[in-house]
Structure 1
Amino acid sequence: MAVHRETRAIGLPVDRLFDVVADVESYPDFVPLIRAARVLRRGETAYETEQTLAVGLLQHRFRTLTELSRPQAISIVSQDRSFCRFDIRWNFAPLADDRCRVDFALDCELRSLFLMPVLQMLILPMAGGMVSAFERRAHLLAAQAVARPVLPPARSLPEDDLRQE
């Protein structure tokens, strides 16, 4: 069984970090070992996802159910038959100066005893870097939003200006 717990203060507003964690389809861009993520069904406060973990040529596809309690919590569970238990909890609390406290918990147990060493070797180190990966992604997206120039809306030219003389 793999268990990881982490609590950190992060220099980002709660809603910004919540949005990054909730955007599962972007995980392959920045979360280690996640090769693919696709939302299969989406509701107002929950969605079902198919994700693929990959290490070298080994791949494992599984489904998760994510429940969103904006902006306080995100719960990710899997009833996939390859797991005895798969439970990820994110809790967010605002702090002063536009910062937030993040509580992250991962509980994962594979059914296959053969694959348990793989879980211990790969998933636990990945879980240890998970909060940092999301923090870096949120800072990157915030920096890109600030750097992106806001262009005035295009205006149409009068027909006279379009004629060539």
Structure 2
Amino acid sequence: MPIRRKRHKVPQSAAQMFALVADVERYPEFLPGCRALTVTNRKTLADDTEIITADMLVGYKMFEEMFRSRVTVNRSALSIDIHYLQGPFRHLDNNWRFRDLDQGGSEIDFYISFELRSRGLGLLVGGLFEHVFVRMIDAFESRARIIYPPSITAS
């Protein structure tokens, strides 16, 4: 069962990085392997937490799968939790935490854990996991540099 956690500093503010990751509908524009994403339900709670149900079509070469997840976007805590609902996984949990740093920029704390239902597919994906993980983190950071260039980043 692949598990990975990364804490990383970026020049963008916590609010900027939170907004970028929370904007799930834009993932197909920049996230490697994300071929399509459809929000099927969106609900805002009284505390301004947003619950999104989304179907994501992911693919790599000939492999293509759709899965559904629940995305909990907590604006006051600057946290995003993704929980698997339906598709090829036994489980998938993904968490993002963002905090501003005193010296400027922010720290991103990213965690992902998953297990696929198919043992064969699990072995294949498990071997690619580190590569996919690094590409995914790089894609978010590259997107942040485009949307929030360091020269105009709020401290």
Structure 2: give runs of 5+ residues left out of the alignment: 45-49
Letter of the 1:103 partner, please give it.
D
Letter of the 1:31 partner, please give it.
L
- Residue 119 of structure 1 is matched in structure 2 by 125
Q: Tell me how far apart the structure 2 counterparts of residues 123 and 28 of structure 1 sit (CA, whole Å).
A: 19
Letter of the 1:73 partner, please give it.
S
Matched, 1:52 2:57: yes
Structure 1: give runs of 5+ residues left out of the alignment: 147-165
Matched, 1:79 2:82: no
- Residue 15 of structure 1 is matched in structure 2 by 15
Deviations 1:40-86 (A, max 9, x none): 11111110000011112321001010001115210001121521110
Q: Which moved more, 1:62-71 or 1:117-126?
A: 117-126
- Residue 135 of structure 2 is matched in structure 1 by 129
Checking the alignment, whether the CA contact within 8 Å between 2:68 and 2:87 is kept in structure 1 is: no
Structure 2 counterpart SS, 1:36: strand
Give % identity.
28
TM-score (norm 2): 0.86
- Residue 95 of structure 1 is matched in structure 2 by 101
Checking the alignment, whether the CA contact within 8 Å between 1:5 and 1:104 is kept in structure 2 is: yes
TM-aligned CA deviation for residue 11 of structure 1: 0.6
TM-score (norm 1): 0.81
Q: Tell me how far apart the structure 1 counterparts of residues 113 and 71 of structure 2 sit (CA, whole Å).
A: 15
Checking the alignment, whether the CA contact within 8 Å between 2:27 and 2:34 is kept in structure 1 is: yes
Runs of 4 or more above 4 Å deviation: none
Distance 1:33 1:107, change over 3 A: same
Q: Which has the larger radius of gyration?
A: 1
Two-structure CA RMSD over aligned residues (Å)? 1.5
- Residue 43 of structure 2 is matched in structure 1 by 43
TM-aligned CA deviation for residue 97 of structure 1: 4.1
